[in-house]
């Protein structure tokens, strides 16, 4: 059986080989030899998307710096929507956001009121959980680039699509990789291409966020090529926001929110892969 892995954001500093080894080692630590008889591959798009995602204005937000084009109304609206949704989940008030925005006023010089508000959202989230506000911003930023820039979307899709068209195979995805996989599987189904995916695993997926649902547009469904779709999330993961995809996105998805991701931001891949649900599902199909 073939096993295809599709990574998330921030992997431009790693090679395809390094990521494949990292994912495989994470699984083999808890289940030695699990993938020994499988043909494993990593669909790598990290450098390509990172190059496209560079914005016009470097804005320091939270504990990191993310390039945000404050002159792009669509980008700002997409980012703000996702971060506002996170703020609502965390029960942040308008006063909390306004206070954080004021705290950042001397650090981040912005003429744009919407840009300042976005900074306030990130900083307010950072006060609750350091690292997570800027993590969500980076995921959403690259997600917007992938879904909105024809050049970026085409470049990434052209890298990943050939892997997805091989069949049958198990597909394991993380973070923004879940978005890339769904978008392409929907496209492949529409084209009439016949593929077989006995198991699709999504981890830390932003597919349930309103900004992503709106940008992807309908239909939102479990692709016919996918026999079983398992979605794993840590309730404290700021990227998934603890959202069960069968309720927020599409029926036919089996959700598991029992993950206790041990990484600092509760989103890292090495905190998802060792989960007993992931390992058992792979054991069953392999």
The predicted pLDDT at position 65 comes to: 47
For the chain, the DSSP string reads -EEEEE--SS-TTS-HHHHHHHHHHHHHHHSTTTTTTSEEEEE--HHHHHHHH--SSEEEETTEEEE--TT-HHHHHHHHHHHHHHHHHTT--HHHHHHHHHHTTTTS--S-HHHHHHHHHHHHHHHHSTTHHHHHHHHHHHHHHHHH-HHHHHHHHHHHHHHHTSSSEEEEEETHHHHHHHHHHHHHHHHT----BS-EEEES--TTSHHHHHHH-S-----TTBS-EEEE--TT-TTTTT--HHHHT-TTEEEE------STTS--GGGTTT-HHHHHHHHHH-
| Structure-token pair, residue 186 | 């929907």
pLDDT tens digit at each of 286 positions of the chain: 999 999 998 899 999 999 999 999 999 999 999 999 999 999 999 999 988 876 443 333 443 445 566 667 898 889 889 999 999 998 988 888 887 767 655 544 445 566 677 778 878 888 877 777 778 888 898 999 999 998 999 999 999 999 999 999 999 999 999 999 999 999 999 999 999 999 999 999 999 999 999 999 999 999 999 999 999 999 999 999 999 999 999 999 999 999 999 999 899 999 999 999 999 999 999 9
The pLDDT of residue 67: 59
Q: Give the pLDDT score at 135.
A: 84
Provide the phi-psi class of 91: left if phi over 0, else alpha when psi is between -120 and 50, else beta. Answer: left
The pair of three-digit structure tokens given for residue 106, joined into one six-digit string: 């001397």
Cα 209 from Cα 85, distance rounded (Å): 8
pLDDT score recorded for residue 266: 93
Look up the pTM and report it: 0.90
Bond before 168 cis per omega within 30 degrees: yes
């Amino acid at each position: 059986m073939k096993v295809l892995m599709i990574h998330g954001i921030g992997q431009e500093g790693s090679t395809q080989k390094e990521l494949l080894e990292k994912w495989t080692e994470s699984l083999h630590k808890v289940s030695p030899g699990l993938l020994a008889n499988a043909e494993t591959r990593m669909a790598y798009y990290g450098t390509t998307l990172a190059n496209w995602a560079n914005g016009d204005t470097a804005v320091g937000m939270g504990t990191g710096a993310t390039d945000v084009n404050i002159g792009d109304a669509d980008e700002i609206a997409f980012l703000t929507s996702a971060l506002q949704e996170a703020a609502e989940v965390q029960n942040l008030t308008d006063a909390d956001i306004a206070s954080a925005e004021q705290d950042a006023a001397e650090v981040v010089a912005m003429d744009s009121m919407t840009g300042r508000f976005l900074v306030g959202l990130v900083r307010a989230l950072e006060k609750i959980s350091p690292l997570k506000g800027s993590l969500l911003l980076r995921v959403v930023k690259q997600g917007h680039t992938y879904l909105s820039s024809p050049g970026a979307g085409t470049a990434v899709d052209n890298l990943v699509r050939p892997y997805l068209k091989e069949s049958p195979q198990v597909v394991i995805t993380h973070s923004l990789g879940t978005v890339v996989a769904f978008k392409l599987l929907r496209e492949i189904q529409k084209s009439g291409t016949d593929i077989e995916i006995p198991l699709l695993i999504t981890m830390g997926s932003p597919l349930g966020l309103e900004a992503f649902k709106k940008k992807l547009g309908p239909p939102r469904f479990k692709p016919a090529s996918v026999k079983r779709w398992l979605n794993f999330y840590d309730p404290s993961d700021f990227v998934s926001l603890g959202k069960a995809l069968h309720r927020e996105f599409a029926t036919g998805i089996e959700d598991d929110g029992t993950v206790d991701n041990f990484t600092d931001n509760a989103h890292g891949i090495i905190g998802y892969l060792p989960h007993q649900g992931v390992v058992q599902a792979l054991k069953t199909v392999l």
